[in-house]
Amino acid sequence: MRRVVVASRNRHKVVEIGALLADLGFELVPIDDVAPGTALVEDDPTFEENAIAKATQAAAATGLPALGDDSGLEVDALGGAPGVRSARYAGDPCDDGRNNTKLLGALAGVPAELRTARYRCAAAFVDPAGGAPVVRSGACEGVILEAPRGAGGFGYDPLFLVPSLGKTMAEIELSEKNRLSHRAAAFRALDAALRGSHAG
Ligand code: IMP
């Protein structure tokens, strides 16, 4: 097994990524288990750059190969906002309730057919032993409702309708979300890329 550090403080994410990369022979370790308190700065303008930045910081702090990801919501009627600022859309600290309230306000009066949006995720692998970072992206298309529905998920999930299911991300089982999510798409694509090169 190859030890790979995950540049995230969210242990649920580490488990989720482990399931998505199950066959690569990686032993995933959260950053705080090997280099507690490492700063993971993500202030770049794109998801891809932020994913690479987080993985690079984790690799530099530990000397281990590292995985990083960055994700958020792009709303077409808002020119792609909140985008890379999704977590802190309504200001610091991150507050899902305030973010959702701000999003509904920003979309007030926008008709259903113009409320299209997508979750996006970039997943990156950085190897301190050399080689260029490998980064892949995934997306999940949806529509922003006028009122929240459902109690599951997190973030913008109660407002994010998946049209093919007629349900919000907060109304579907976690296993189903993990099948169709932006994060799953990004890590599956990264998995395929690493099979073709680094992981070999
Ligand atoms: P990060 O990629 O962990 O930095 O997450 C960025 C932010 O994007 C989160 O705080 C949420 O606001 C939003 N976000 C990313 N993925 C999801 C998701 O699957 N559901 C709901 N919100 C999400």
Q: What is the pLDDT of residues 44-81, one digit of tens each?
A: 999 999 999 999 999 999 999 999 999 999 999 999 99
196 pLDDT exceeds 60?
yes
Reduced to 3 states (helix: H, G, I; strand: E, B; else coil), residue 45 is coil
Q: Which CA distances in Å does 135 have to 50, 51, 105, 125?
A: 10, 8, 34, 6
Query: What pTM, to 2 d.p., does this model score?
Result: 0.93
C-alpha 24/C-alpha 27 separation (Å) is 9
**Contact call for residues 82 and 103 (beta carbons, < 8 A):** yes
Ligand 1 atom at shortest distance from the alpha carbon of 140: 19
Expressed in angstroms and rounded, the spacing between residue 128 Cα and the centre of ligand 1 is 27
Q: Are 44 and 57 in contact (CB under 8 A)?
A: no
Check pocket membership of 155 for ligand 1, CB cut-off 6 A: yes
- Cβ distance 152 to 178 under 8 Å? no
- State if residue 154 touches ligand 1 by the CB under 6 angstroms criterion: yes
β-pairing, 134-144 vs 160-162, is antiparallel
Query: Which value, to the nearest 10 degrees, does the dihedral of the CA atoms of residues 63, 38, 92, 135 take?
Result: 0
Q: What is the pLDDT of residues 73-117, one digit of tens each?
A: 999 999 999 999 999 999 999 999 999 999 999 999 999 999 999
